[in-house]
Amino acid sequence: MPLDIDTLRLDFPILAQSVNDYPLVYLDNAATTQKPQAVLDALNHYYQQQNANVHRAAHALSGQATQAFEAARAKVAAFINAPDTRQVIWTRGTTEAINLVAYSFGMHSLKAGDEILLSTLEHHANIVPWQQVAATTGAIIKVIPLTADAELDMSAAATLFSPRTKLLAISHISNALGVINPIKQLIAMAKAVGAVTLVDGAQAVGHFPIDVQTLDCDFYVFSGHKMFGPTGIGVLYGKRELLEAMPPWQTGGEMIKHVSFTHTSFGELPFKFEAGTPNIAGAIGLGAAIDYLSGLNRNAITAHEHNLMQQLLAGLSAMPDVRIIGRPKAGAVSFVIDDVHPQDLATLLDMQGVAVRTGHHCAMPLMQALGLEQGTTRASVAFYNTSDDIAALLAGIDKAREFF
């Protein structure tokens, strides 16, 4: 059955507002998604009815909070088809999850001469932690270049894998260009040389189903706020044998088993990586977001978003002074207009109620490789967007082109 988008939009209270006397057209979903009422209700319910710390008390509220908190972990595990809830680690988001792997796995497993393979498409969060690891361990970073179409050059990638390759860290979807990377192929290439694999799934989880067992990645990371959940909560999935071998990254609080002034022993998975009081409300809110998404037809969502993307690409392609960057497939479309600064365009669009994002999109090496010193304008869709939203964006761009 096709999605009833008008009805689904009613689940998102923020979408009903006006901006500058125009109906809000929210096309900044790659930065963060809006939250359905079910998520807002879950957050309110926790703070109004269950607010207590988890795992640490025998009283009723703590028991209820712990049950809801761990139920959310189970929902995440089922959502990505993780074999065991102990392989789901709560983090503050994708960035912290990557840093956890970088410092707990990378700093302790890599040595001088080992190679870390990244791609030109990566977000800063999947570059800078590995630079820190390389600077400390003597490992070497190598980068998969792009083709003329701003996609990964898989022929070049094949030459970069070698027995020295110890880690591949790759995005599932480019946050800047909407390019879907061939991660199954890349994971297979990494495994052929014995390399560990990490997939940055921040831009993927809200758009289509993820199965970490089918992907056979070693680590998969994502953020709640990119998939209609709260900010400040994220997930690290890891293969159990790797997580068990990795030392704790942060210490204190729940991750402790026993402490004396001469020795400390650490808890079992997943708790050894969850120091201090966690974002309990955030985890419960993410669980509610997963419930909400799971109640929708994910295939219909994917098809609807694809149609929106095609409408946007066709409209932009019809404007002779507009250049689409790359060949976007999911989520985001980046473009530039001749002689128009992206920030000026975004300001004029905002005056018409249209929210987009401009700049380097936390992907400065990518923009440098593409020769885009000023960055791009990026419009990014979610399933609650409509054809009218895309038409409003295109009309706003036309007005801006006339103005400039």
Question: Digits of tens for pLDDT over the chain (404 positions)?
Answer: 567 999 999 999 999 999 999 999 999 999 999 999 999 999 999 999 999 999 977 899 999 999 999 999 999 999 999 999 999 999 999 999 999 999 999 999 999 999 999 999 999 999 999 999 999 999 999 999 999 999 999 999 999 999 999 999 999 999 999 999 999 999 999 999 999 999 999 999 999 999 999 999 999 999 999 999 999 999 999 999 999 999 999 998 888 888 899 999 998 999 999 999 999 999 999 999 999 999 999 999 999 999 999 999 999 999 999 999 999 999 999 999 998 999 999 999 999 999 999 999 999 999 999 999 999 999 999 999 999 999 999 999 999 888 88
Question: What is the separation of C-alpha 224 from the centre of its chain, rounded to a whole number of angstroms?
Answer: 8
19, 362, 369, 395: the active-site residue: 362
Distances 188 to 259, 287, 392 between C-alpha atoms, Å: 42, 31, 42
- Name the CATH topology of 41-294: Aspartate Aminotransferase; domain 2 (3.40.640)
- Return the half-sphere exposure (C-beta side, CA atoms, 13 A cut-off) of residue 260: 2
User: Is 141 exposed, middle or buried (CB count within 10 Å of its CB: 0-12, 13-18, 19+)?
Assistant: middle
- CA nearest 56: which of 285, 276, 273, 284? 276
Strand-pairing partners, residue 223, are 234
- Contact present, 144 and 120 (Cβ < 8 Å): yes
Active site residue 362: yes
The CATH class of 5-30+297-403 is alpha beta
pTM for the structure as a whole: 0.96
- Contact present, 207 and 329 (Cβ < 8 Å): no
User: Looking at the chain, which residues constitute the CATH 3.90.1150.10 domain(s)?
Assistant: 5-30+297-403
User: Is 251 exposed, middle or buried (CB count within 10 Å of its CB: 0-12, 13-18, 19+)?
Assistant: middle
User: Looking at the chain, which residues constitute the CATH 3.40.640.10 domain(s)?
Assistant: 41-294
- Return the half-sphere exposure (C-beta side, CA atoms, 13 A cut-off) of residue 165: 24
